[in-house]
Amino acid sequence: MKRVTLIKGDGIGPEITDSVMKIINAAGVAIDWDIQTAGADLIETEGTPLPQRVLDSVKQNKIALKSPVTTPIGKGFRSVNVQLRKELDLYANLRPCYNLPNVKTRYDKVDIVVVRENTEDLYAGIERQVDENTAESIKIITRKASERIAKFAFDYAVKNNRKEVCVVTKANICKLSDGLFLECARKIAQQYPQIKFREILVDNCCMQLVQNPNQFDVLLLPNLYGDIVSDLCAGLIGGLGIAQGANIGENYAVFEPVHGSAPDIAGQDKANPTAMLMSAIEMLNYIGENEAGRRIRLALFDTLDAGIKTVDLGGNASCTEFTQAIVDRLVVLEK
C-alpha cells in the first residue's frame, strides 16, 4: 500500500482534507496516510510551525498532499509553505487552469498552465529594516534555478502536447534579475524548436489575460509574478475554490491547491473542496492510480453538471453535501 504524507493545514484545511479523504476512500484507493500537522498552533508545543518530522515524513514517503497553512501578514514566522518548498527543493510550481463543467465564467475554453519558479526571487526571505522609515527586500534570481524551471516548462509542453511557452518578466525594469530569467528562458527555448516561444512583460500579460485569455498556453514565470498571475488565472475559471496545484522537485512532490486557508469562511462548512480534490487527482495519477483519478474526476464533473455547487460557485451546497454528492456518484460508477 502506498504511504503518502498528508498535511492537514489550518483554516479551511481540515474541512477540505476530510472531504478529499472521504472521496478517495469511496473510490477504493488504499492509501496509508501519514498524517502530519504544521502551522501556528505548533509554535507553543514544538517551538516551530514546521517541525522536522514533517520534512522527514515527506522525505521518506517522497509524496505529499497538503492543504493550506496560514502565514501571519506583516509580522511573525516565515511561511511554512515557502519553507517546505525550499527545504525539499520543490522547484516547480505547476498550476493548470481550465474551465470546469457548469461553472459560469466570462470566458470559455480557458486552458492555461502556469509554471512558477518556486525557490527564489523575493521569496528567498532576505529582508532588512534599514532604518525606521526604510525596509529592503532582496530579489534573488540564479542561472541554475532559471534554467531548470525553463527546462521544466518546455518538457511539460512537449509531454502534454502544448504548442507554446510564454515567458513573463519585468526585464525592462529589473534588467539584471528578470533579465537573467529571460536570458535563461531564451537559451532553453532553442533546445525545443517544436515549441513556440514568446516573451511578454508581466503588466501587459495581466491585461491580455483579462481581455483574451485564450491566446495563452503555458506561462513561465519567476516566483512572485507566478504567485500573482496564478490567482488571476484562477479568477478566469471561477475562483480559487477550483484552482489546483503541485510543487515538484527532483526527488519529492507535494500536491496542494492554489488557495490559502480562507480564514473568512473557516469552520462554516462553506469551503469548496474541488481545488484540493483536483490536486489529489494529480497526486493519484502521479502514484499510478490513474483509474481511480479518472473516476473521481468523472464523479466531480457530474456533480457540477447536476448543479450541485458550493457557495463560491453560486450554489448552495455545503462542503459536506458537495462531498456526499461526489461519493454517491462514485458508488454508482463502481457498480
- Chain residues in the site for ligand NAI (CB under 6 A): 12, 68-71, 81, 240-241, 256, 259-265, 271-272, 275, 312
Q: How far is the CB of 229 from ligand NAI (least distance, A)?
A: 14
Rg (CA), the chain: 20
Asked whether the beta carbons of 93 and 219 are under 8 A apart, the reply is no
Where on the phi/psi map is residue 333: left (φ > 0), alpha (ψ -120 to 50), or beta?
Answer: alpha
Question: Minimal CB distance to ligand NAI: which residue?
Answer: 260
Q: With respect to ligand NAI, which residue has the nearer C-beta, 169 or 272?
A: 272
Helix axis angle for 274-286 and 290-305, nearest 10°, is 160
Minimum distance, C-beta of residue 25 to ligand NAI, in the bound complex (Å): 20
Q: Which residues contact 137 (CB under 8 A, 6 or more apart)?
A: 122, 126, 127
Is the C-alpha dihedral spanning 245, 93, 174, 128 positive or negative? positive
DSSP state of 186: H
Written as nine digits, the cell of 162 is 502544448
- Of the pair 167, 278, the CB lying nearest ligand NAI is at 278
Tell the smallest beta-carbon distance from residue 179 to ligand NAI (Å). Answer: 28
The distance of closest approach from Cβ of residue 273 to ligand NAI in the complex, given in angstroms and rounded to an integer, is 7
SS3 33: strand
Q: State in angstroms the smallest separation of the CB of 64 from ligand NAI.
A: 12
Q: How far is the CB of 26 from ligand NAI (least distance, A)?
A: 20
End-to-end Cα, the chain, rounded Å: 24
Closer residue to ligand NAI, CB minimum distance, 181 or 255: 255
Q: How far is the CB of 259 from ligand NAI (least distance, A)?
A: 3
Q: Which amino acid belongs to residue 143?
A: R
Query: Measured from the CB atom, is 154 or 239 closer to ligand NAI?
Result: 239
Q: C-beta of 331: minimal distance to ligand NAI in Å?
A: 24
Is the CB of residue 5 less than 8 Å from the CB of residue 61?
yes
| DSSP for 83-113, written as a single string | HHHHHTT--EEEEEEE--TT---SSSS-EEE
Taking the least distance from each CB to ligand NAI, the nearer of 153 and 262 is: 262
Residue nearer to ligand NAI on the CB measure, 100 or 157: 100
Contact 11, 40 (CB under 8 A): no
What is the Cα–Cα distance from 214 to 105, expressed in whole angstroms? 13
Nearer to ligand NAI, 68 or 293 (CB): 68
Q: Please, which residue, 174 or 266, has the CB nearer to ligand NAI?
A: 266
What residue type is assigned to position 64 of the chain?
Answer: A
